[in-house]
Amino acid sequence: MKHSLNQKQVSAIYGIVILFCFLPFISPAIALVMGLILSMLGLKYNKITKYTSLALQTSIVLMGFGMNLNQVVSASKTGFVDTAISVVLVMSVGFLLTKLLHVDPKIGTLISAGTAICGGSAIAAISSVINPKSSQISFSLVVVFILNGIALIISPAIGHYFNLSQEVFGTWAAIAIHDTSSVVGAGATYGTEALEVATTVKLIRALWIIPLSIVIALAQKDKKNGKIKIPWFIGLFVASIIIAYLLPSGQILFNNLNWLGKRGMVIAIFLIGSNISLAEAKSAGFRSFALGILLWILVGTVSFIALTAHF
Q: Give pLDDT tens digits for 123-145.
A: 988 988 888 888 888 888 888 88
Assess whether pLDDT exceeds 60 at residue 1: no
**Mean pLDDT lowest among 201-210, 229-238, 300-309:** 229-238
DSSP secondary structure of the chain: ------HHHHHHHHHHHHHHTTSTT--HHHHHHHHHHHHHTT---HHHHTTHHHHHHHHHHHHGGGS-HHHHHHHHHHHHHHHHHHHHHHHHHHHHHHHHTT--HHHHHHHHHHHHTTTHHHHHHHHHHH---HHHHHHHHHHHHHHHHHHHHHHHHHHHHTT--HHHHHHHHHHH-SSHHHHHHHHHHH-HHHHHHHHHHHHHHHHTHHHHHHHHHHHT--TTT------HHHHHHHHHHHHHHH-GGGHHHHHHHHHHHHHHHHHHHHHHHHT--HHHHHHHHHHHHHHHHHHHHHHHHHHHHHHHHH-
Q: Which residues form the domain of 114? A: 7-310
- Of residues 65 and 219, more confidence is placed in 65
Is the pLDDT at 164 greater than 90? The verdict is yes
**Is 1 contained in some domain?**
no
Q: Is 138 part of any domain?
A: yes
According to the model, what pLDDT value does residue 225 have? 46
Q: Is residue 2 part of a domain?
A: no
pLDDT confidence tier of residue 226, bands split at 50, 70 and 90: very low
- The residue-averaged pLDDT of 88-106 equals 94
- Whether residue 120 is contained in a domain is answered as yes
Does 295 fall in a domain?
yes
pLDDT of residue 108: 94
pLDDT confidence band for 275 (50 / 70 / 90): confident
- pLDDT band of residue 6 (cuts 50, 70, 90) is confident
DSSP-H helix ranges across 41-68: 46-49, 52-63
**Comparing 75 with 113, which gets the higher pLDDT?**
113
179: left (phi over 0), alpha (psi -120 to 50) or beta: beta
The total number of structural domains in the chain stands at 1
Residue 65 has pLDDT above 60, yes or no: yes
Q: Does residue 174 fall inside a structural domain?
A: yes
Residue 20, in any domain of the structure: yes
Q: Is the confidence at residue 274, as pLDDT, over 90?
A: no
- What pTM did the predictor assign? 0.77
Q: For residues 171 and 137, is the Cβ–Cβ distance under 8 A?
A: no
Question: pLDDT-derived band of residue 94, with 50, 70 and 90 as boundaries?
Answer: very high
